Amino acid sequence: MTKKKRVVYSNRPWEATGICSGCRLCELWCSLSKNGSFNPRRSRVRIVELGTGIDVPVTCQQCQDPACQASCKFEALSYHEKLKIVVVDEEKCTGCRACVGACPYGIITMDPVTHKAIKCDLCNGEEPVCVSICPSNVLALVDDVEAGEVNRRRLATLLASDDQFQRYMPGGEEPIQKKLEKRG
């Protein structure tokens, strides 16, 4: 049985290349693989700038009960049995933007050229190009159980911390300075 997968950001700030560098290669290669052009506005992955020097890649969370699909009155968003995710049928999409407004993560966008909805389709079951191209190796294709465990550990680490420095880290992992103190 195939498990549902999603692309997640798995940063490791204690490693030199363990955080998103903001290079935006994932956006560029996604748009190239899907549309044949380097245009980040046509990408299915987005780099969100949280603050100076903090960039986080965001992709479709492949929701259990997708609000995007429920909002589509034209059945342009349908469940793909093999991939176990919701995909966009561009033939049926009217560009009404109902799914864009319904997405709780703001990751469904409108293609500026076709004026149709776009979202991650996990590169049709192949290794997603965003995962394979990332020079920092911070994007990973995981199943729901693994994604839940990553998120649970991050939240638990953040909530357990009294250290302001650690609370502001995007992943909540152990800060570099504390790892160095443990070694010394």
Classify residue 169: in a domain, yes or no: no
More confident residue, 33 or 164: 33
174 in any annotated domain: no
φ and ψ at residue 18, rounded to 5 degrees: -95, 10
Q: Is 178 within the bounds of a domain?
A: no
Q: Is residue 62 part of a domain?
A: yes
Work out how many domains the chain is built from and give that number: 1
Does 184 fall in a domain?
A: no
List the helix and strand counts (H, then E) for the chain.
Answer: 7, 8
Within-domain flag for 68: yes
- Structure-token pair, residue 46: 């987005």
Please check the confidence at residue 91 and state whether its pLDDT lies above 90: yes
Whether 176 shows a pLDDT value over 70: the answer reads no
Host domain of residue 18: 5-159
**What does pLDDT average to over the chain?**
82
Position 163 pLDDT exceeds 70 = no
Is residue 89 within 8 A of residue 68, CB to CB? The reply is no
Does the pLDDT at position 117 exceed 80? yes
Residues 10/140, Cβ–Cβ less than 8 Å: yes
- What pLDDT shows up at residue 17? 72
Tens of pLDDT, residue by residue over 29-47, are 999 999 999 999 999 999 9
Does pLDDT of 92 surpass 90?
yes
CA 165, 166, 168, 172: dihedral to nearest 10 degrees?
170
* CATH code at position 111: 3.30.70.20
Residue 122 domain-assigned (yes or no) = yes
pTM equals 0.76
Q: What is the pLDDT of residues 2-31, one digit of tens each?
A: 677 888 887 766 666 778 889 999 999 999
